[in-house]
């Protein structure tokens, strides 16, 4: 690739330097403060897009105020624009090298991007300035622990080591007499009755027996590892498929999708487009239900990998912590193995391409390129696999640096060229919160669908899913709103450094 994700962020930072200009006039100072006040009000109302607009207005009037950059950095963090957040934090530090919040923000952005050593360096700086700050000390210690853990994992990694699945001894696990929950058949097979009982059991906040959870994981791994990186299906005339976007551990909203749209079956196929886990605090329930349906209907229920079906994201945003809290670290390791076998894209009737993120940082990527991706790994920092999981569309032609700090943003011309080169009609992707649950862009040829309404209990967005019916394959959109759920906050299992309240 022409540039790594680090270079992408550095390019954006260089552009930001131009905004740090000479001291403003008294009139501009007053106007910039008024804009900052408006921005703060929108931020407190959780309207982060408007907050960013007015922080930007303040910065354009006075590019010498570290607070403006730091505040906008926090707003970018809340909207998952980690690349922009990193750049703004760095700008705040360049303006005032003693501005502690700038280091806090930059460390948080680096943590979100999986750049733990860089984050640790900033936390070390904070500790030097505030050696008695308990919060800073906690963050420093937590970050240092992660860096040491990563170093240890690299040291013991061995290419010929056995997988967790190979070492599992399911038969030795006993089902206790007092367990009254859903049970698999004696041969381990999954039935419709089991899935209905499982969904109800999880809805009552009860736990599936560990033996059955392991059996589901082992069965779904056997199915997934036989699949290509690019799945290809053909709908017959009159057949329809439902395409869902991000779920992010919002289990009760997943149940609502099945209530509104019907349970999966051979006559009611589904495609879930990545980011099943993290953030929401019922990620384990979501993924076990989805995996259960994949085993039950392997040829009519489809799952694609998202950027959150990865170790770094799971470590920071809650899934690893949730699995360890509800089961064991061994089970998380098995989930990690299974996630690596999830396909990266799906082509429907040779006309519609579905992926979690989007298109590519370079021209020339074809469907054959996707077919040839070795996906059984953690995603690299650049290349087609990274782009499929991370990129985003933009309204302007061409490509630009990613707001996330990973991959790129691509314009209508990029979409048009890719579709024409590969004989496709449109792409469907997810990866971004949309107020209406979906968005049609690039002249109708790039569609975003997001299925986690009121994302993280704070965004107020609708959820949506798409119906595609052959032969037309014209997308129709079904919107829905969030449903009530038990009183458990989002990010309950996330790493302490990523809790929204301490950014």
Give me the active site residues, please: 308
Q: Return d(Cα 229, Cα 379) in angstroms, integer.
A: 13
* Residue 151 to residue 146: CA distance in whole angstroms: 9
Give strand ranges (E) for 344-498. Answer: 345-348, 352-355, 392-393, 399-401, 408-410, 426-429, 438-441, 446-449, 463-469, 476-480
Q: Is 389 exposed, middle or buried (0-12, 13-18, 19+ CB in 10 A)?
A: buried
Q: Enumerate the H helices of 210-326 as residue ranges.
A: 210-224, 251-261, 283-296, 311-317, 319-326
Tokens of 376: 């059984």
> Is 13 in a helix, a strand, or coil?
helix
Q: Of the candidates 128, 149, 417, which has an alpha carbon nearest to the alpha carbon of residue 136?
A: 128
**What is the rounded distance in angstroms from the CA atom of residue 370 to the CA atom of residue 424?**
14
Cα 284 vs. chain centroid, distance in angstroms?
Answer: 15
Check if the beta carbon of residue 181 is closer than 8 Å to that of residue 201. yes
Backbone angles phi, psi at 462, to 5 degrees: -80, 160
H helix or E strand, kind and range, residue 376: none
């Amino acid at each position: 690739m022409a540039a790594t994700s680090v270079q992408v962020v550095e390019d954006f930072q260089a552009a930001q330097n131009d905004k740090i200009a000479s001291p403003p006039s008294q009139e501009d100072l007053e106007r910039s403060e008024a804009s900052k006040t408006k921005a703060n009000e929108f931020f407190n109302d959780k309207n982060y897009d408007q907050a960013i607009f007015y922080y930007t207005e303040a910065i354009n009037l006075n590019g010498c105020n570290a607070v403006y950059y730091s505040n906008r950095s926090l707003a970018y963090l809340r909207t998952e624009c980690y690349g922009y957040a990193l750049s703004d934090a760095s700008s705040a530090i360049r303006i005032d090298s003693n501005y502690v919040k700038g280091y806090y923000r930059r460390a948080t952005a680096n943590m979100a991007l999986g750049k733990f050593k860089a984050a640790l360096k900033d936390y070390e700086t904070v500790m030097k300035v505030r050696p008695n700050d308990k919060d800073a000390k906690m963050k420093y210690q937590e970050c240092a622990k992660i860096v040491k853990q990563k170093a240890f994992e690299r040291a013991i990694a061995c290419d010929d080591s056995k997988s967790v699945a190979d070492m599992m001894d399911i038969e030795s696990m006993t089902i206790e007499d007092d367990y009254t929950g859903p049970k698999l058949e004696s041969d381990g097979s999954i039935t419709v009755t089991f899935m209905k009982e499982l969904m109800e059991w999880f809805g009552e906040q009860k736990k599936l027996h560990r033996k059955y959870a392991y059996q589901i994981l082992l069965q779904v791994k056997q199915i997934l590892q036989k699949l290509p990186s690019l799945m290809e299906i053909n709908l017959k005339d009159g057949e329809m498929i439902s395409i869902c976007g991000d779920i992010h551990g919002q289990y009760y909203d997943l149940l609502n999708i099945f209530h509104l749209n019907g349970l999966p079956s051979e006559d009611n196929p589904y495609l879930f487009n990545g980011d099943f886990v993290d953030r929401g605090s019922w990620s384990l329930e979501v993924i076990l239900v989805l995996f259960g349906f994949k085993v039950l209907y392997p040829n009519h229920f489809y799952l694609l990998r998202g950027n959150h079906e990865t170790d770094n994201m799971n470590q920071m945003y809650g899934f690893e912590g949730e699995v360890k809290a509800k089961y064991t670290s061994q089970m998380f390791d098995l989930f990690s193995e299974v996630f690596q076998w999830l396909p990266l894209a799906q082509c429907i009737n040779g006309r519609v391409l579905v992926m979690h993120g989007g298109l590519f940082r370079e021209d020339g990527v074809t469907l054959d390129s996707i077919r040839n991706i070795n996906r059984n790994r953690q995603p690299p920092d650049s290349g087609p696999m990274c782009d499929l999981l991370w990129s985003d569309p933009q309204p302007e032609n061409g490509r630009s640096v990613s707001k996330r700090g990973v991959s790129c943003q691509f314009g209508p011309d990029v979409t048009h060229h890719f579709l024409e080169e590969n004989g496709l009609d449109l792409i469907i992707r997810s990866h971004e919160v949309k107020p209406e649950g979906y968005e049609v862009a690039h002249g109708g040829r790039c569609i975003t669908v997001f299925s986690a309404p009121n994302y993280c209990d704070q965004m107020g967005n609708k959820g949506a899913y798409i119906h595609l019916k052959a032969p037309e394959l014209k997308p129709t959109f079904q919107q829905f709103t969030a449903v009530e759920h038990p009183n458990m906050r989002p990010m309950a299992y996330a790493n302490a450094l990523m809790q929204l309240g301490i950014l």
